[in-house]
A and B are shown apart, each in its own frame.
Chain A
Amino acid sequence: TQLLEQSPQFLSIQEGENLTVYCNSSSVFSSLQWYRQEPGEGPVLLVTVVTGGEVKKLKRLTFQFGDARKDSSLHITAAQPGDTGLYLCAGARGSQGNLIFGKGTKLSVKP
């Protein structure tokens, strides 16, 4: 069973469109992180959300942590080809607090 479900799995859009990616779970997380991974490279942290209901903005990217700290969303406004990549959400839980990753959303933004 996958603890963190991401949707959609694949997304192909045109430059300028808006999109939302979801990360859902039945478990509560102490914090949730979003990473972006480009081909042949390791994931790079975009943001960490900690408080239920928290909203963080990073230029055209808006991240939200659900009130119950079980889910999160990533909204991209006016997507650009440079946004292309694999978006991974990861939740921290357990006594050691290790990150559990979702399967990712593969985004392709066409010019």
Chain B
Amino acid sequence: NAGVTQTPKFRILKIGQSMTLQCAQDMNHNYMYWYRQDPGMGLKLIYYSVGAGITDKGEVPNGYNVSRSTTEDFPLRLELAAPSQTSVYFCASSYSRPTNTGELFFGEGSRLTVL
């Protein structure tokens, strides 16, 4: 079972460069999320989607963009990378909302360093 697949696992960017973190899930989940995890800071929600064609901002959306053209894919775009975006990024999906006790299934993470 693939679950949630993220690519790349590691990436080094120069300041000002752009890139896309890919996320795909094969569980037919409507809900998908992007979190970033900084050391000692827990996970912060960047963007989320409740279904194909629908996306919305989370707690820390500045500097990022997302799209959801299919149920399976939820790429995260970084424009004009900055050192503050150095972090580990996690994509997750769920069958239902967390308020309906929906379990989040996470990918293995993408470690991004901006120099």
Contacts and interface: CB of A to CB of B under 8 A. Distances in A.
B22 to A, nearest CB: 15
B79 interface: no
Interface of chain B, helix or strand or loop or mixed?
mixed
Contact of B42 (A42, A92, A93, A101): A101
A98 B43 contact: no
Contact of A43 (B59, B97, B104): B104
Chain A interface bracket (under 10, 10 to 19, 20 to 34, 35 or more): 20 to 34
A66 interface: no
A95 to B, nearest CB: 9
A5 to B, nearest CB: 10
Contacts of B84: none
A33 B98 contact: yes
B26 interface: no
A103 B97 contact: no
A45 B104 contact: yes
Interface of B: 4, 33, 35, 40-45, 48, 50, 56, 58-59, 90, 92, 97-101, 103-104, 106-109
Interface of A: 2, 4, 9, 30-31, 33, 35, 40-45, 48, 50, 88, 90, 92-93, 96-104
